[in-house]
Amino acid sequence: MNALPDAIRGYARRLHTVIGDDHHIASPLGAWLVLALAAPAADGPEAARLAEVLGMPVDDAATAARTLLDAPHPAVAAAAAAWTGGTGGQAADWLAGLPDAVERGPIPSQDEADGWARRNTYGLIDRFPGEIDESLIVLLASALATRITWLRPFDTTPSREFRSGWRDRVTTVLCTPDQGHHCALVRHDRAGDLAVHRAGADGLVVTSVIAGPGVAAADVLAAAHDVAGEDTLESHSLFDLPLGDGPSWTLTETDGVARTETLTALLPAWSARSEHELRAPDLGFADAARALMRLFGEGPWDASQSAVARYHRRGFEAAAVTALYVASSLRLESPGRQRHALLRFDRPYAVVASIPHGPPSPWIGLPVFSAWVTEPDEATD
């Protein structure tokens, strides 16, 4: 078992449960990194609660954060900063123990923080989350961003193949080409039968997962994180499924010279821009803030994340900035029938962007961004 991916998936369940089932994009990893950087300042019950939230002891989480930030993955731009209004005593020890990659300095102005966000997110986020003023005594932040181009762009097709009301919300949808994309029908213990689409490039894989109509968003998102963590997808054989309509697909059969199985997926293009408050007790930021208060002084605190994403015909891009503030006051078989499944992502579904197995890296297996899609866009370039 790889402890770090499991820990991030566990935190993702917490975060998406709090966010709910509105259309959104988020980075559980970005929030987790801020907590892991703050964690060495915690002690006693706070450290125990943070360990539970982080999915590992606080020292292990701090080490993992150091490894990720000091050895960033080529597919993900990663940055962190610890800006403070004082550096004496234990505060200096905590700052000295942060990874070398963490930027340090005095509390920035709003314009300076906005510039930091733009530089570290390919310009996708142009304003730092929250409000910065002279009352702040510590500001801890992470930034993650990715921008990839599919190995093969999607084709497009009219939305009339959708069965839901989404067919009236857009006129054109994305359709998988013959190569460069992978589709599967899989079974998940909690979420049931799932239709899955996966595509990627440049060391990042984006997995879309849709379940049956009655499955809760939190369960579909958890299933999507589980599926995204699998190197290969164990798909149902189409010959083991009944012909006709399934929860998210239609299965047909025709005559052919060989027994073959093919799958095509139809998905909407989509985009999202989200602002998340991170004050909920289950998310761990209250304990992280209290730990920092012991070093820098008591005061009100806040935590938030700004995230943005766009999924389109030619690629995928996403970014997130998370901040914690403390202020002072396919197979060929024997000849036979041919079956084809058409997978329809035409109602709310989950998306996870993660790092697949490849060259050795501490990032392998990590989910970086995740989304719940309820608002389709037109499929254009």
Name the pairing type of β-strands 181-188 and 172-175.
unpaired
Greater confidence, 268 or 337? 268
Is the CB of residue 273 less than 8 Å from the CB of residue 345?
no
Per-residue confidence (pLDDT) for residue 379, from 0 to 100: 87
- Mean residue pLDDT of the chain comes to 91
| Mean pLDDT, residues 351-372 | 90
* pLDDT confidence bin for 88, thresholds 50/70/90: low
Separation between Cα atoms, residue 150 and residue 199, nearest integer Å: 7
Task: Label residue 176 left, alpha or beta by phi (over 0 means left) and psi (-120 to 50 means alpha).
Answer: beta
List the one residue out of 148, 208, 155 whose CA is nearest residue 182: 208
Separation between Cα atoms, residue 323 and residue 27, nearest integer Å: 12
232, with CB counted inside 10 A (0-12, 13-18, 19+), is exposed
Per-residue confidence (pLDDT) for residue 128, from 0 to 100: 96
Per-residue confidence (pLDDT) for residue 2, from 0 to 100: 65
331, with CB counted inside 10 A (0-12, 13-18, 19+), is exposed
Per-residue confidence (pLDDT) for residue 336, from 0 to 100: 65
Q: Which region among 21-25, 149-153, 279-283, 292-296 has the lowest average model confidence (pLDDT)?
A: 292-296
pLDDT digits 0-9 by tens, 199-223: 988 889 999 999 999 899 999 999 9
List the one residue out of 191, 258, 256 whose CA is nearest residue 222: 191
* pLDDT confidence bin for 339, thresholds 50/70/90: confident
Separation between Cα atoms, residue 123 and residue 298, nearest integer Å: 34
Neighbours of 48 (CB within 10 A): 13
pLDDT digits 0-9 by tens, 314-324: 999 999 999 99
Q: Which region among 85-99, 152-166, 295-309 has the lowest average model confidence (pLDDT)?
A: 85-99
DSSP string, 312-353: -SSEEEEEEEEEEEEE----B-SS-EEEEEEEE--S-EEEEE
Is the CB of residue 46 less than 8 Å from the CB of residue 291?
yes
